[in-house]
A and B are shown apart, each in its own frame.
Chain A
Amino acid sequence: MNPTRNGPQVALFDYGAGNLHSLAKGLEAGGARVTVTTDWFEALDAQALVLPGVGSFGAAVQALEGHETEVRDALLDGLPCLGICLGMQLFFPDSEEGEGSGIGLIQGRVRRLRARTVPQMGWNDVETGEDPLFRDLSHLTAYYANSFVCEPEEPETVVAHSQYEDQRFAAAVRRGRSWGVQFHPEKSSRAGLTLLRNFLAQVTP
């Protein structure tokens, strides 16, 4: 059985900027059939949605404009979603990075890192908990490239933490079947591919 033919059908949303190849290949390595799309109708019709972490907040909210409610409702309805870096930040109502609104799936703020060196660029340890996204990943070190972090209002939405300089921040959040990760699994070598597989395992449990 060829997993690429029978795995879940995943929509990878394209905001029009940045590298999507590695993420598409990483998801395919986990058995997904990946469609890269700029069309929200098609994206919300897939078995799972992935919001990639490339481009700027401004470019992404432009692509989202007019569809915020529709996307939020689909996720609240149970469409499995993985938001990566900027894609995670889009779960929140807005961001200090720029004008425009995210989908408001999780309440809270997206704020600039309070650190001497920004962006945070490189591999950082992730304190993972019991969430199935982190299955077999109790000692995760993942690749980050971010200037902003999410600060959810409800601490129970945070399912993993990392520490950068003096700031402890949300490495991952979850609401229902939507997960957001601040790091880049598609750039985190074998451990990152394991995380993508764990996400796909949640799509068709």
Chain B
Amino acid sequence: MLRPRVIACLDVQDGRVVKGTRFVELRDVGDPVELARRYEAEGADEIVFLDISASHEGRSTLLETVRRTAEVLFIPLTVGGGVRTEDDMNALLRAGADKVSVNSGAVRDPDVLTRGARLFGSQCVVASIDAKWSQEGPAGPGWYHHTHGGRTRTDLEAVAWAKECARRGAGEILLTSMDRDGVRTGYDLELTAAVADAVSVPVIASGGAGRAEHLRDGLTRGRADAVLLAGILHDGLTTVTELKEALAGWDIPVRLPDAAA
């Protein structure tokens, strides 16, 4: 039986993990390699690094961070942020990422998903969708996909865009609700379920996790294959172990750290 995944996400800037809400008010919370290892030990099923460095130096620092992480981490690592071409994907994969997530790059050039899937396999290609509700998008009221760390609204309706990304070769959708990100009131279940029902690739729910009930709801009512969390872990409010034990108590068949031994 496939186990629903609990994924720890680290926003990385210039080689350090930062956290505010993802889109504003950043502060340093630690070393990415150290945090990734800690979350593996706590039973996290995967790690995601989202690089939010703007500078060229920041990007080379990222490759170095990925390299150092891959040498000590023995669970899957997804890396995203600033990926535009198959060469960018290759550089991250060669540095030690197992999957690469693409956001703005896929809007500019959707075929990059297809080329990436052909070269590296679709299981390596993650389409990252930052969705925010808007009353007045071109397709009417709905969730619209945003690029550039959430700063730019596109005309792409999020559910249709998710389908398009999967059709073009993405093997997974990382779906972030910008409305919920950092708010800790739970995932946007309506958005998550709409995307999960529309695509035949796995969907990761992101944005809004505040406590174990939110993870449970994301996996059940949201029909997500995986749930992603960040802030509540970095702040030391809870641990992956605690969250997974709570999920197991609700009969959600997560992989428990003991079973990994």
Contact = CB atoms under 8 A, between A and B. Distances in A.
Interface of A: 17-19, 21-22, 25-26, 54-59, 86, 116-125, 139, 141, 143-147, 163-165, 184, 186-193
A56 B119 contact: yes
B202 A117 contact: yes
A116 B226 contact: no
Interface of B: 1-5, 40, 45, 67, 70-76, 90, 93-99, 117-124, 171-172, 200-202, 225-226, 255, 259-261
A142 to B, nearest CB: 10
Nearest to A163: B1
Contacts of A124: 1-3
Given A54-B93, A124-B1, A141-B259, A18 B202 contact: no
Contacts of A117: 200-202, 225
Contacts of A189: 40, 74-75, 260
A147 B98 contact: no
Contact of B2 (A26, A57, A164, A192): A164
A21 B202 contact: no
Contact of A119 (B5, B93, B122, B260): B122
Nearest to B68: A21
Contacts of A21: 67, 70-71, 95-96
Contacts of B45: 122-123, 143
Contact of B123 (A17, A119, A190, A192): A119
Residue with the greatest number of chain A CB neighbours at <10 A, chosen from B72, B94, B123:
B123
B215 to A, nearest CB: 15
Given A117-B202, A122-B5, A186-B74, A19 B98 contact: yes
B118 to A, nearest CB: 6
B258 to A, nearest CB: 9
Residue with the greatest number of chain B CB neighbours at <10 A, chosen from A17, A122, A125, A190:
A122
Contact of B93 (A18, A116, A163, A191): A18
Contacts of A184: 76
Nearest to A140: B259
